[in-house]
Amino acid sequence: MAERSSSSHPRIDTAAVSDALLGKWKTERLESRKLAADPRLHTVPGQSMDDHRERALEQLSILVEAGAIQRAFPTAVGGSDNHGGNIAAFQELVLADPSLQIKSGVQWGLFGAAILHLGTAKHHEQWLPDVINLQTPGAFAMTEIGHGSDVASIGTTATYDATTEEFEIHTPFAGAWKDYLGNAALHGRAAVVFAQLITRGVNHGVHAFYVPIRTPDGEMLPGVGSEDDGVKGGLNGIDNGRLHFTHVRVPRENLLNRYGDVAPDGTYSSEIESPGRRFFTMIGTLVQGRVSLDGSAVRAMQAALGIAIRYGSERRQFPGASGRETVLLDYGLHQRRLIPRLAQTYAMQFADERLLTVFDEVFSGAKDTDENREDLETLAAAFKPLSTWAALDTLQEAREACGGAGFIAKNRIVGLRADLDIYVTFEGDNNVLLQLVGKRLLSDYAAQFKNADRATLTRAAVNQIGDRVSRFGLRRVGQSIADFGQIARSIESMRSPEAQRELLADRVQTMVGDIALALRDATKGIPKEDGRARAVASENAFNAQQYKLIEAARAHGELLQWEAFTDALEKIADAGSRQVLTWLRDLFGLGIIERNAAWYLTAGRISPHRAESVTAYVDRLISRLRPHALDLVEPFGLTPELLRAEIATGIEAERQQEAHDYVEAQRAAGTWPVHEKELRKQRQAAERESRQAKAS
C-alpha cells in the first residue's frame, strides 16, 4: 500500500477483508483454490468438444486423487460429513474450468448426493464407494424434454411387478425422455432416474431409482437409449445428452427408499403421509445444487471485476486535462459501470456465506428443523437467481469495459460468461425460483392475518404491521407508517443503515401486501360451488400479479443480501476496512433504492427531492470508492494462476509506459514531429498579433 490507513484517509486491511470474505470455510476454500491453480485442471480455449469432454473426465480423477470431492459423504464411505466445507470448496472450482466444476457437480453433487440423501444404508454401501472413486460415472435423470421446472408432472414411469419383484422403468413418449443430463451422452454407467412410482394400480408420485445404463465398455444396456445434446453455448466439457428407457427392469431394491418403499408384494409405505409433502421433502434434499451455484456465480463476478478493474486502472484513452491520456477508471461512466457491481459482489459473497451456514446447519443435523429447512429453501431460491444473473451481467459489463481485449479468449471473460449462461436456468429456473420465494412471502403475509377480516387486511396493507415472521421470511417494518412518506421523514438520513433497511423492507412488505389484496379480490362474487370458475379467476389474477410478485421476491432477496453485508460489517474490527466497506454497503443499499426510485416515488415513500439526493449520494460514494477499487479486488485472492487473463497481468501498464517513454525520448531528442494542428495554432496566433500590431 502506498499510504497507510487513517481516519481521514481510510484504507482497507486486505488480509482482514480477505478473511471476512473467506468466511467459516476458509481452509476448504484455500485448499480448493490451490487445486484450481493446477494447470491440469484448466480450460483450454478452443479445444474441440470431444477433447474437452475427455479432459473433463480425466480432471474428475484428479479431484478424486486430491481428496477434493469426498467431504460431504459420510465417514463410513471415506467422507468427512462436512457439508458447508464441501460446497465452499466446490464453488472455488469455477475458476479452474466451469465444465470440470459442473461435471463434478453432476457426479457427486447430484448423482452421488441423490443416492446419499434419497437412498438408505444398503445403497450407500453398495454404490457410493464406486461413485466417489469414479468407477461409476453417473447421470442425474430428473429433467425430461417435456418437464423441467414441473418435476411432479414428469412422464417416466416405474411400474412395480410383484411377480418378478422388479420395477419397470419406461419413457412412454418423447416428452418423457430424460434430457440435458451430464454424463448421459458418453461417460455415464448408471443413472438415478426419477419416475412416477406405480404399484397396485396407484401412482405414488415421483421417486428415484438406481438404473445401470452402460456396460463398463460403454455399450448401452438393453432397452436404454441415449442421444447426444451436442454442442452447447458453454460447458462443452460435459457430455450432456438424453436417455430413454423402454421397459427396462431393475430389482425392487433399486428404489432409493428413504422416503417411500415398496414391499415385495407391492404394498407401498412411507413415513410421510401426505404425497405432496413427501415429494417436496425428497426434492428438498437436492437444494445443494442451488447453494453451490450461488457462490460459484459470485466467484466468477470476482474474477470479472478483478480483470476489468485492473485493466481499467492501467488502460488510458483520450487525452485528458492532466496532459496525459485519461485512465479509464477515472471516467465517471466507467466508475458507474464497475464500482456498484463491486458493491454487489461483496454483498452477494456475504449472503452466500449465510446461505452456506444454514445449509450446513440443516445437512449436518445441527439444526435440522422444519423451519430451518424451509428457510434454507427460500434463501437458496432467492440468492441463486440474483447471483447467477448478476454474474452474467457483471461478466458482460467487464467484457465490454475491456473492449476488444475482453472478447479474446485468453483474457478469460467470454469463456466464463458462456459457461455460466446456463446457471440461470438449471438447478431451478431463476424466475420459477423467485416465484417460489414470492409465494413464501405471500403465505408469511397471510399468516399474519389468519383470522383477519377484509377491513383489517386492507388497513394492514397500508399500515404494514408485522407479526410472526421467520428468520428469512417476510421482514416487518420497525415502525408503523400510517402516512405516505413518513419513513423518509422519520429517518435522519438515508445514509444510516436503519433508514436503508426500513426503505428496503418496506418495499417488500408493501408490494406483497398489495399483491395479496389483489389476489384476495379475484374470486369475489363467484359462487363457492363454481370451483372451475374460481380456479380460472384465481389463475388470471395470479397471472396479472406474477410479474410484480417476482419483483417483490427480488426485492426480498436484495434486502437479505443487504442484511448479510451489514452483519458482516459488524464483525470487521479494522477501522479503515470498516469505513471503506461501509461506503460499499451504502452504495449497495442506495443503489437498490436508486434503481427502484419509481416505486418509492409512486408509493410516496420518498420525495422527488429525496430521489435526487439518493442519486447524488450514490455518485459521491462511487467517487469516494474509486481510489479503493484495486484494494477492494485484492481480497478476492485472484492469483495469476487463478485469473489467467493476459490483460490483468500488468501488461497494459507496461505498454503504456513503453509508449510514454518512447514519446518522451523523441521529445528529448528533438525528433518528435510537430503536429499540423500546433503549427496552425501558432500561425493563427501570429496573424492575430500582426493584425493587432497593424491596428494599434
Cβ-based nearer residue to a copy of itself, 619 or 634: 619
- Residue carrying C-alpha cell 428469512: 472
For a copy of itself, which residue of 414, 420, 487, 580 counts as binding (CB under 8 A)?
A: 414
- Least distance from C-beta 259 to a copy of itself, angstroms? 13
Cβ-based nearer residue to a copy of itself, 12 or 402: 402
Which sign does the torsion angle of CA 657, 661, 662, 663 carry?
Answer: positive
Distance CA 164, CA 156 (A): 20
Question: Per CB under 8 A, does 668 bind a copy of itself?
Answer: no
Question: Per CB under 8 A, does 162 bind a copy of itself?
Answer: no
Cβ-based nearer residue to a copy of itself, 292 or 448: 292
Question: Per CB under 8 A, does 403 bind a copy of itself?
Answer: yes
From residue 300 to residue 339, what is the string marking binding to a copy of itself with x (rule CB under 8 A)?
-----------------xxxxxx--xx---xxxx--x---
Q: Which stretch binds a copy of itself (CB under 8 A): 115-123, 142-150, 372-380, 574-582?
A: 142-150
Between residue 354 and residue 393, which ones bind a copy of itself under the rule CB under 8 A? 392
What 3 state SS string does 1-51 have? CCCCCCCCCCCCCHHHHHHHHHHHHHHHHHHHHHHHCCHHHCCCCCCCHHH
53 contacts 237 by C-beta, under 8 angstroms: yes
- Least distance from C-beta 691 to a copy of itself, angstroms? 19
Q: Which stretch binds a copy of itself (CB under 8 A): 338-346, 416-424, 486-494, 519-527?
A: 416-424
From residue 646 to residue 665, what is the string marking binding to a copy of itself with x (rule CB under 8 A)?
---------xx-xx--x---
Distances (CA, A) of 267 to 166, 203, 301, 682: 13, 12, 51, 101
- Least distance from C-beta 523 to a copy of itself, angstroms? 12
Distance CA 123, CA 582 (A): 50
DSSP string, 416-457: HHHHHGGGGTSSS-HHHHHHHHHHHHHHHHHHHTTT--HHHH
Distance CA 93, CA 642 (A): 10
CA 43 to chain centre: 21
- Least distance from C-beta 458 to a copy of itself, angstroms? 17
Distances (CA, A) of 500 to 345, 443, 493, 627: 18, 25, 9, 25
Distances (CA, A) of 327 to 314, 397, 582, 674: 6, 17, 26, 25
The one-letter code for the residue type at 256 is L
Q: Which stretch binds a copy of itself (CB under 8 A): 19-27, 31-39, 272-280, 559-567?
A: 272-280
Distance CA 625, CA 587 (A): 9
Distance CA 184, CA 193 (A): 12
| Closest C-alpha among 22, 9, 10 to residue 571 | 22
Q: Which stretch binds a copy of itself (CB under 8 A): 30-38, 104-112, 395-403, 499-507?
A: 395-403
Question: Per CB under 8 A, does 7 bind a copy of itself?
Answer: no
- Least distance from C-beta 78 to a copy of itself, angstroms? 33
Cβ-based nearer residue to a copy of itself, 324 or 471: 324
Beta strands 190-199 and 157-161: pairing type?
parallel
Between residue 603 and residue 632, which ones bind a copy of itself under the rule CB under 8 A? 603-604, 608, 611-612, 619
130 contacts 136 by C-beta, under 8 angstroms: yes
At residue 228, φ and ψ (nearest 5 deg) are -90, 130
Question: Per CB under 8 A, does 695 bind a copy of itself?
Answer: no
Between residue 194 and residue 253, which ones bind a copy of itself under the rule CB under 8 A? 196, 198, 201-205, 229-234, 236
Question: Per CB under 8 A, does 488 bind a copy of itself?
Answer: no
Question: Per CB under 8 A, does 286 bind a copy of itself?
Answer: no
- Least distance from C-beta 423 to a copy of itself, angstroms? 10
Q: Which stretch binds a copy of itself (CB under 8 A): 45-53, 118-126, 358-366, 372-380?
A: 45-53
For a copy of itself, which residue of 482, 535, 573, 575 counts as binding (CB under 8 A)?
A: 535
For a copy of itself, which residue of 1, 76, 174, 452 counts as binding (CB under 8 A)?
A: 174
